[in-house]
Structure 1
């Protein structure tokens, strides 16, 4: 193992990044125990205090699990997709950015849905119909998210079919409907998988999921698309940058 090369950043950050790299490149596998603090600090050429601070941050991020009197272990499940909540990408783009194949299962298109609450959100009359797109998104054929998307039906072509919606919804709206989404307002909530979601995502009932609720807008602030996306928390991780005024 190569030793840490100091730069202008705090040394514990460099150690943390080095271990991050070794987790990413498979040097350390999920569930594997790290060398003892004495051995690891010697290999990296840092003090044990510096190493402990790096491990503390890794533990806070959920990447390692420190067991008192036993040792430090790589977390069994490390999120496959990591995204800043300020980054507005389609799920297809997120999956493909990892070099994986994005797919769709169990797609169902409902037309003519009336929902008074969502009509208010879309700023349309309550008798205007919505299209509801339900589908499970996959990465290399593994279910990673269940999506429920709502679009005012008058935005869509009259001949829209489920086949049209198998790939990126953002791309379809832009290329086939002339709708370009520029930003979204989102809420993230922790939820437990009910029987339906557990079946769709291939997890146990009660498994922790991340629900991302978003209203999407164009550059004129028109609400275009409302989404409820249920992400497997062992596959997706979202982070946010907060600035102090």
Structure 2
């Protein structure tokens, strides 16, 4: 745990243990830095994180105050989570069936997203994701062959694609650009999730994932049953 993250944790524990109550002003920056034996820059970084999480209010020239934290919200779009993680956080058991894993020719759309040549070779992974035995997601994942090589031939893939890429290809997914779309009813993947429940609404989450060097490494299409998945974003007034 980094220095400022450790101080953040310590401050959180002190707030939870009622060392300071809601509405109460924290000691000065100098006093806190001295108490934790850290630089004021480290302390400021910790306080900044708590301010961003809505646990502290910093009033410049006045002081830092403990405030009532906002309630947590599920599936926040600001946080990049795998589909499997979202299923598990809902208290459900995840399983999947693989529809295909193999090499295909890169389309124009995929090439533009992944910043590679149209017609080049990509790895395509399609699978159905289940929650407590019921199909809730159809996922299509596209990755440049030059990045993942023969990883899917060398190792048996199951579970989290993020973890597989990290363990097998040393690719760490750090961030993603996400678009939520309502797919047309005639989309064949929508039908795969509806079966006999034709009124079940389906959302399409299109995501371009980047690694820590901001390389485009994964283009995903996740069809999600919206009676199972709900997404939230907390908006701040500037």
Answer yes or no: same fold by TM over 0.5. yes
Per-residue deviation, 1:128: 2.2
Per-residue deviation, 1:111: 0.6
Q: Distance in 2 between matches of 1:163 and 1:104?
A: 17
Does 2:89 match 1:97?
yes
Instruction: Indicate which of 205, 208, 212 corresponds to 2:201.
Output: 208
Q: Deviations over 1:179-231 (max 9, x none)?
A: 00111010111234437335522443464211111100112211110111110
Q: Quick check: 124-133 or 232-241, which moved more?
A: 124-133
Cross-structure match for 1:219: 212
Q: Deviations over 1:92-132 (max 9, x none)?
A: 11112233221112431131322123212212222421111
Cross-structure match for 1:84: 76
Q: Distance in 1 between matches of 2:123 and 2:168?
A: 15
Q: TM-score, normalised by structure 2?
A: 0.63
Q: Distance in 1 between matches of 2:234 and 2:93?
A: 29
Q: Distance in 2 between matches of 1:165 and 1:211?
A: 24
Does 2:217 match 1:241?
no
C-alpha RMSD of matched pairs (Å): 2.4
For these two proteins, the number of residue pairs brought into alignment is: 166
Q: Distance in 2 between matches of 1:125 and 1:132?
A: 16
Does 2:187 match 1:185?
no
Does 2:109 match 1:130?
no
1:241/1:206 Cα in 2 relative to 1: closer, same or farther (>3 Å)? same
Structure 2 unaligned blocks of 5 or more: 1-21, 23-72
- 1:120 alignment partner, SS class: helix
Q: TM-score, normalised by structure 1?
A: 0.61
Structure 1 unaligned blocks of 5 or more: 1-7, 9-80
